[in-house]
Structure 1
Amino acid sequence: MIITAETYHVPVLLHESIDGLAIQPNGIYVDVTFGGGGHSKEILRRLGPKGHLFSFDQDADAEKNIVNDDRFTFVRSNFRYLKNWMRYYKVDHIDGLLADLGVSSHHFDDEERGFSFRYDAPLDMRMNQRAGTTAAEILNNYSEEQLADILYIYGELKQARKLAKTIVKARAKKSIETTGDLLTILGVEAIEENAQLSIVNAQLKKDLARLFQAMRIEVNHEMEALKEMLTSAQELLGKGGRLSVITYHSLEDRIVKNMMKAGNAEGKVEQDFFGRVNAPLKMIEKVITPSADELEQNPRSRSAKLRIAEKN
């Protein structure tokens, strides 16, 4: 597959998310989800000659989209290590951080990575293919209880225990290695057309999407990484610095909302003696969603929500 910035990922809520950063021309900014570079390029367009942008991505494919600009530094790493890398580059504060938490179009369309049930591919799902545990290893080695918890918590699947039991029973006979193996175990009848699996039942398709979401979150430790990144971000932001975050499902959106409102992932509000809320950030916008035009041009933006906060 030939990968270009244009085919890697169409940036979601591009102008709204960058507008939310209220960019200072000479400021220091971080894009923790570089991907195809769409958001990063727009940030650079608004920066002056003394401004600087650090962009993070752990996927080797994203490196093909690196920007040739003296004001740009690419960090090949998971964004959970944000604070460590800023310390490495001797940056003690930032003026804004952007995070587009969605899985890129490239990952869903890559027939070899196992992110989508549309293709019969190895069950990998690692954002960083240099290290970590694959989805196949999890399906074949986790206990029934562990699998049930993942499917229920990360996939919000009511039938999580039944699914876990089915998987454990099937793997005792044959190792689960591909998306096709998994679909067969679940009794999904699919018609293969042009390397894509066409599934008629809409509810079944929705449940499969949730199952694959759950596995991807576990493989990449997404919730833990998000909490660590947001905690570091609010510590690094200078007074008046902005945090602009795009979410796509309720699990990550809840964490982002809680961090912005209360300063912690649990949403536990702390108050002083006079009942005033002690929080490092303040929400400065209502939730922003894609326009009708963007939804028409980029259907994958349909579940996107943008939240913006400022450092007190």
Structure 2
Amino acid sequence: MTDLLPTARTGGGPAVLTKGAAPPQTPPPQDPGPGVARSTRRRLGPGRSLPFGRLIGPALLVALWWAASASGYLDPRILSGPGSVISTAGDLVATGRLQDNVLISLQRAGLGLFFGVVSGVVLAVAAGLSRTGEYLLDGPLQIKRAIPSLAMLPLLILWLGIGEEMKVTVIALGVAVSMYINTYAFLTSIDSRYVELAEGLDLGRAQFIRKVVIPGSLPGFFVGLRLGVTSSWVGLIVVEQINATSGIGYMMFQAQQYAQSDVIIVGLVAYGVFGFASDAAVRAIERRALSWRRTLAG
């Protein structure tokens, strides 16, 4: 008598096995070959981002500085330790000296950044959307790009004196060049097919700028803005040490005369904190404004 053993379905119906017969074997998995993608893919990107991950690097630098100072490897006459710097910063805050100088420096950097951003964007749009503007503006601005703003200090002092106008102008020149170069580069790299599509839809100049030019050049604008923020702080450090009577740079210059390295480091830390914070703010605005992009930055 034959015993029927139910097994897994093969094809359309149940398979019938006789008593003592071996069950069917599942074939071993085969290598899909070099031309077929495997189920487990190798990740080539930088990985997932960590909240406040960019603070790890500065924190390690401070920890290394603290350890070198505590172990005696750093001569306090050359580089003061973190404890001394924190104590000096507390004294400067208590007397109001640090706050007054910081506010003046922020005002100078803010004005220079504002005028530089506005002028750089206006020049980029004028040169990018008009051949006449390109022929008239791009050449002089490329020449200015090769001339550091600090190299123009003697001429600017001769023209504007040593007052606030000269300081704000030096900062604005550095910012404007960064804004122009990056915004102009992205604006002129917009695919011509979008321009042809806008012409086919009979868009006006204002609609073309709003729907094509601004989205296409916005990534370059933010790159230029980040570089412009850095340029504003670099220019500020220099102009505040030239016949200035206030500001963080002036405070550092006075400390140099009396070999107060702790006060100098307080000024450097203030510059670094403001530079890092302003760059982080621009990054946050950029992520929100360009949330439609998928990039390695996450």
| Length-normalised TM-score, structure 2 | 0.26
Higher gyration radius (CA): 2
TM-score, normalised to structure 1's length? 0.26
Bigger proportion of residues as helix: 2
Looking at secondary structure, tell me which structure has more strand per residue.
Answer: 1
